[in-house]
Amino acid sequence: MVNFLIMGQSLYKRTLDSGIWNFILRASKILMNFVKLIIIARILPPDEIGLFGAALLAVSIIETFSQTGISAALIQKKEDISDFLDTAWSVLLLRGILIFAVCFFFAPAASAFLGEKGLTPVIRVISVSFLIAGFNNIGMVYFEKELKFQKKFAVNFIANIFDFTVTVILTLVWRNIAALMAGYIVNAVVIMILGYSLHPHRPRFSLNRERTAEMFKFGKWITLSSVLLFLIMHGDDIFVSKYLGLAMLAFYQFAYRVSNMPATEIAAVVTQVSFPAFSLIQDDPVKLRTAFRQVLSLTALVSFYLTAGIMVLAPDIIAYFLKPEWMAAAVPLQILAVWGAVRSIAGINTSVLNAVKRPDIITKLSAVKLLILAVLIFPLTKKWGITGTSVAVVISSVLITPVTLLFSYKLSLKGRMRDIALACTPQLAGLLAAASSILIFREKHVTVILMIEKFLILSVLYAAVLISADAITGTPVRKSIAVVLRKAK
C-alpha cells in the first residue's frame, strides 16, 4: 500500500500483498465480531455483558502499564535483529508472568473499586491469557518486519475462528459470561501454538543488559504512548462503569465496538503495514512525504465511506437485530463513528513518527488529548449520559488530530499542510453527502429492504460527490487508485 509511485517494485509488491492479507484478516474479524456481538447481546443481559467488559478493563490497565515497546523497537531497527530475539522473548515472558500475578492478587481491589464482587473470578480467569501470551514465539515479529503478512494472517485468522466458534457455541449452551472467558483463553492458546508451528525460531531464556537497554531506549516512548492511548481509549469506559453502572457500560461498549469496527480495522491494517514500510525508507523524506499522502488519501477513501454507512444504518441495525433496550446505544454509536474515521487518519501519523524515530511526539500529543477528554467527559456525561461521553471523545480527537498531522507531515517530513488538506477534501465531502441521506428516511418501519435502499443511496451520494470534488480540486484519489490497480495486475 505504501508509496505506489516511487517505491521499489519488490518493496511495493510486498507492501501491497501485506495490505491485502491484512485487509482480508480485518474484514473477516469485523464480520465475526459483529455476529458474535449480536448473538451475545440477544442472549446475555446488559449487566452481565458489562461485567465482562469491566473485567477486561481491569486487566487491560495492568497490561497497558507494563507495555515494553520491544516489538516496535525490533520492527523499526534496520539492522539484523537475530541477536536480540532471545532477550526480547525473555523480557516478554517475565512481563506475562507479572501481569498474571498482579491481576490475580489485585482482582479483589479492582472489584471493590468498581463495586462489583463478581469481578474477581472473571479478572483472574482472563489474566491467564496474558500468562499464555508470554510464551508466544518472538520469531513472529519477522512476519511484520519483513512484510510477510500472509503468515500473520494465518495465525490471527485461525485464532479468530476458534474464538468465534467457542464463544458462540458456549453462549448458546451456557448462557453466561463463562462462554466469553472461554473464547478469550482459547484465542491466546491458538496464537501461541501457531506461532511455533509457522516460524522456526525456538527462543531460550537469556537476558542481555545492553540489548535490553537498547530496545527500551526506543520502546520507552512506545510504552508511555500506550499508557496514554489506553487512558484515551478506555478512560471513558472506566468513567461510565463507575458513574453510570454496568448496564450503561454494556451499551456504551457496544456502540464503541460497532461504530469503530470498520474504520478502526482499516486503521489497524494501514498502521501494521505502513510502519515497517515507512521504516525501510525512513532516510528519504521525499519518498516518505509521497508515501504519506497516498496512504492518507486511500485510507480516508475507505474509512470515510464506512463511517457514513455506520452513521446512516446504525439505528436500523440495532432496532432490527436487538431488543428495544439496546436502542440506548444508537445515538452514541452514530457519534462514535466520527471518532472511528478520525482514528483511521491518526494511525498513519503514528506509523510515520515511529518510523522517523519520533515516538515522543505521539506521546506528548496524546497527553494533551487526554487532558482535553478529562476536562470534557464529566460535564457532558452528566448532562447527556453516554451520548455526552461520546461527544467528549469525538471533540478531543477532532481537536488534536490536525495538530498531529502538522507535526508528522510539516515539521518531521517538511511537507506542506495544503497537500494534506487536498488529499482528504473529496473524501470528507463524500462523507458529509452520504451522511446527509439520514434526512431522506424519517420514521419508517425497519426492514431489510429499507436498509438496502439506504445503503445504495449513501453509496451513490458518496461516489458522486467524491468524484466531483476530486475533479474540482485536482487531488490524486483516482490517480492513486489507478496506480494500485495497474501494479496489482
Decide which of 189, 221, 253 is a domain's last residue.
Answer: 221
* Residue 217 shares a structural domain with residue 248: no
pLDDT: which is higher, 37 or 147: 37
* Residue 57 shares a structural domain with residue 140: yes
What span, in angstroms and rounded, lies between the C-alpha atoms of 22 and 156?
10
Instruction: Give the model's pLDDT for residue 8.
Output: 46
**Is 486 among the domain residues?**
yes
pLDDT: which is higher, 325 or 280: 325
Residue whose C-alpha is closest to residue 344's, from 305, 312, 377: 305
What span, in angstroms and rounded, lies between the C-alpha atoms of 487 and 275?
21
Q: Which residues contact 82 (CB under 8 A, 6 or more apart)?
A: none
* Residue 298 shares a structural domain with residue 194: no
* Residue 320 shares a structural domain with residue 456: yes
Instruction: Give the model's pLDDT for residue 190.
Output: 96
Say if residue 260 is exposed, middle or buried (CB neighbours under 10 Å; 0-12, 13-18, 19+). Answer: buried
Tens-place pLDDT, residues 79-88: 788 889 999 9
Confidence of residue 20 (pLDDT cuts 50, 70, 90): low
Confidence of residue 488 (pLDDT cuts 50, 70, 90): very low
Mean pLDDT of 183-212: 92
* Residue 105 shares a structural domain with residue 162: yes
Mean pLDDT of 150-168: 89
pLDDT: which is higher, 165 or 479: 165
**Is 387 among the domain residues?**
yes
Residue whose C-alpha is closest to residue 405's, from 302, 294, 296, 281: 296
Mean of pLDDT over the chain: 82
* Residue 129 shares a structural domain with residue 268: no
* Distance of alpha carbon 477 from the chain centroid: 24
Quick check: pTM over 0.85? Answer: no
**Is 141 among the domain residues?**
yes
Q: Which three cell numbers stand for residue 413?
A: 517530513
pLDDT: which is higher, 163 or 210: 163
Instruction: Give the model's pLDDT for residue 260.
Output: 77
Confidence of residue 116 (pLDDT cuts 50, 70, 90): confident
Residue type (1 letter), 118: G
Asked whether the beta carbons of 461 and 437 are under 8 A apart, the reply is: yes
Residue type (1 letter), 160: N
Instruction: Give the model's pLDDT for residue 4.
Output: 39
**Is 122 among the domain residues?**
yes
Instruction: Give the model's pLDDT for residue 64.
Output: 75
**Is 31 among the domain residues?**
no
What span, in angstroms and rounded, lies between the C-alpha atoms of 435 and 425?
15
* Residue 202 shares a structural domain with residue 290: no
The three-class DSSP label of residue 472 is helix
In Å, the largest CA–CA distance within the chain is 66
Q: Which three cell numbers stand for residue 421?
A: 488538506
> Would you list the DSSP string of 380-403?
HHHHHTHHHHHHHHHHHHHHHHHH
Residue 108 pLDDT greater than 50, yes or no: yes
* Residue 454 shares a structural domain with residue 329: yes
Count other Cβ atoms within 10 Å, centred on residue 404. 22
What span, in angstroms and rounded, lies between the C-alpha atoms of 464 and 426?
10
* Residue 160 shares a structural domain with residue 282: no
Tens-place pLDDT, residues 421-461: 887 888 889 999 998 888 777 666 888 888 998 999 999 99
pLDDT: which is higher, 336 or 479: 336
Tens-place pLDDT, residues 366-408: 889 999 999 999 999 999 999 999 999 999 989 988 888 887 7
**Is 105 among the domain residues?**
yes
Instruction: Give the model's pLDDT for residue 263.
Output: 62
pLDDT: which is higher, 64 or 52: 52
Q: How many domains, the chain?
A: 2
Q: Which residue has the cell 457532558?
A: 380
Q: Which three cell numbers stand for residue 57?
A: 478493563
What span, in angstroms and rounded, lies between the C-alpha atoms of 153 and 168?
22
Residue 65 pLDDT greater than 80, yes or no: no
Which residues form the domain of 125? 44-221
Asked whether the beta carbons of 121 and 148 are under 8 A apart, the reply is: no
Task: Give the Cα-Cα-Cα angle 223, 216, 230 (nearest 5 degrees).
Answer: 5
What span, in angstroms and rounded, lies between the C-alpha atoms of 134 and 96?
4
CA 33 vs CA 29, 40, 363, 386: distances in Å:
6, 10, 30, 22
Residue whose C-alpha is closest to residue 476's, from 406, 425, 412, 404: 425
